[in-house]
Amino acid sequence: MKDRDLKTKLLSAPYLVWSVIFVVVPLLVMAYFALTDANGSFTFDNIIHVKNYADIFLRSIIYSIAATLICLVLAYPIAFSISQCNPNKQRVMIMLVMLPMWMSLLLRTYAMMGILSDNGILNSFFTAIGLGPFKMIGTPGAVIFGMVYNYLPYMILPLYSVMCKIEKSTIEAAQDLGCNAFHVFAKILLPLSLPGIASGLTMVFVPSVSTFYISQKLGGGLFDLIGDTIERQFLGSTGGKNLGAAISLILMILILICMAIMNEFTDDDNEGGGVLF
């Protein structure tokens, strides 16, 4: 037993070292700058000044929630459809879902700019059928659309990983007992897929609420999100990094609160089966 514990500690040592260097140390550095001024003196002024950016926090949260819910609505039927395919088709479909993730977010966002621009593919199509052109770039819809496009795979993958474990015989049994499609979804699929939903919501919301490049390019610089504000503080005048660190610290706390709430839906108790009535 002691040898096994020693081996476990040795195997986990690289991970612990990695976590300390790239997680703990950066967090401590961020906390230091957030609680000091440009001269290195301790102060709470940076934390207090964060309240001046409450409207940007609110906008970031609203956009992120909208993008996350749209991703859920789109990803749920996609993940279920993939989980019902044979194993070979599942591998192909998952590869297609992951394929856009192999490209840089910068390239994907630039591609969206070309599609949504005044002379882009969509407006060319709308103009051809007499419905356009429409103003897309520089609107909240374009920013949310960019979030959905970039982060949709992060919703599909956790949903798929949960749904592929749902036995088809469970659904067939529910149908044999008289459940229609709605009851199968409400009493079987939804309860069993709750852990995947919670994971997907977290994986989409966290990068969405802190994004900055998507809003700059697709929003035309008209809709500052919290990520834009943090970037501007660090690239701005002397002392801006302290306020930027304070904003980052508050954002991290909000994200941790959201993750703690989501974790309540991923407990072992929520991994049980559905209930038939």
What is the tens place of the pLDDT at every residue in 163-201? 988 888 888 888 888 888 888 888 888 888 988 998 899
Q: Are residues 226 and 56 in contact, defined by beta-carbon separation less than 8 angstroms?
A: yes
Considering only CA atoms, which of 150, 136, 141 is closest in space to residue 62? Answer: 141
DSSP-derived secondary structure letter, 36:
B
Compute the average pLDDT of residues 234-257: 84
pLDDT at 271 over 60: no
Q: Residue 107 and residue 2: Cα distance in Å, rounded?
A: 51
Q: Residue 50 and residue 32: Cα distance in Å, rounded?
A: 16
Q: Residue 91 and residue 224: Cα distance in Å, rounded?
A: 39
pLDDT at 270 over 50: no
Instruction: For the full predicted model, state whether its pTM sits above 0.75.
Output: yes
Per-residue model confidence as pLDDT tens digits over 22-77 = 889 999 999 999 999 888 889 999 999 999 999 999 999 999 999 999 999 999 99
Compute the average pLDDT of residues 143-156: 94
Q: Are residues 206 and 73 in contact, defined by beta-carbon separation less than 8 angstroms?
A: no
* Domains, the chain, ordered by start: 20-266 (1.10.3720.10)
